[in-house]
Amino acid sequence: MTDGGLPLTNEAIASMTDEQRSILNELGQYAAQELNLSKLIKDVTEQVKGAMAEAGFKSVATPRALHEDPEVDILISSKSRHKIANVENQIRRTLERAIQVGLGKYRLIREQCANYGVPCDV
């Protein structure tokens, strides 16, 4: 094992317990949700900015309508932003469980623990 941990391989997964594989499966599902929500937020932001530019709206210091506000894209994507925060919390909890069941020796888990602020003591 290097300082960063072991690689997560098909062989490693095959030798894991059902509980360990289940946790990895959950992480995979959360990763897909996070990716989809991130893409949705990006698409909404680009769409709003594109529509505003197409319509000739410019950011103004004192917007007179909601659609003129420079933060309207944040408003429109707020539900997705809330959902992504929930997914990130689920990822943190699942990473904690991954450490508890012995998956902290794998590089992917160690890196994601660092990314999500989860202690990874092995």
User: Whole-prediction pTM value?
Assistant: 0.81
From the CA atom positions of the chain, what is the Rg in Å? 20
Give percent above pLDDT 90 in the chain.
65
Non-local CB neighbours of 16 within 8 Å, separated by 6+ positions? 24, 103
Residue 95: which of 85, 81, 106, 83 has the closest Cα? 106
The per-residue pLDDT of the chain, averaged, comes to 89
As given in the structure block, the two tokens for residue 84 are 């992504």
The Cβ of residue 23 has, within 10 Å, a number of other Cβ atoms equal to 21
User: What 8-state DSSP symbol labels residue 69?
Assistant: S
Residues 30-56 pLDDT 10s? 999 999 999 999 998 888 778 777 777
CB 72, CB 59: distance < 8 Å:
no
Residue 17 burial class via C-beta count within 10 angstroms: exposed 0-12, middle 13-18, buried 19 and up: exposed
CA 95 to CA 103: how far, in whole Å?
9
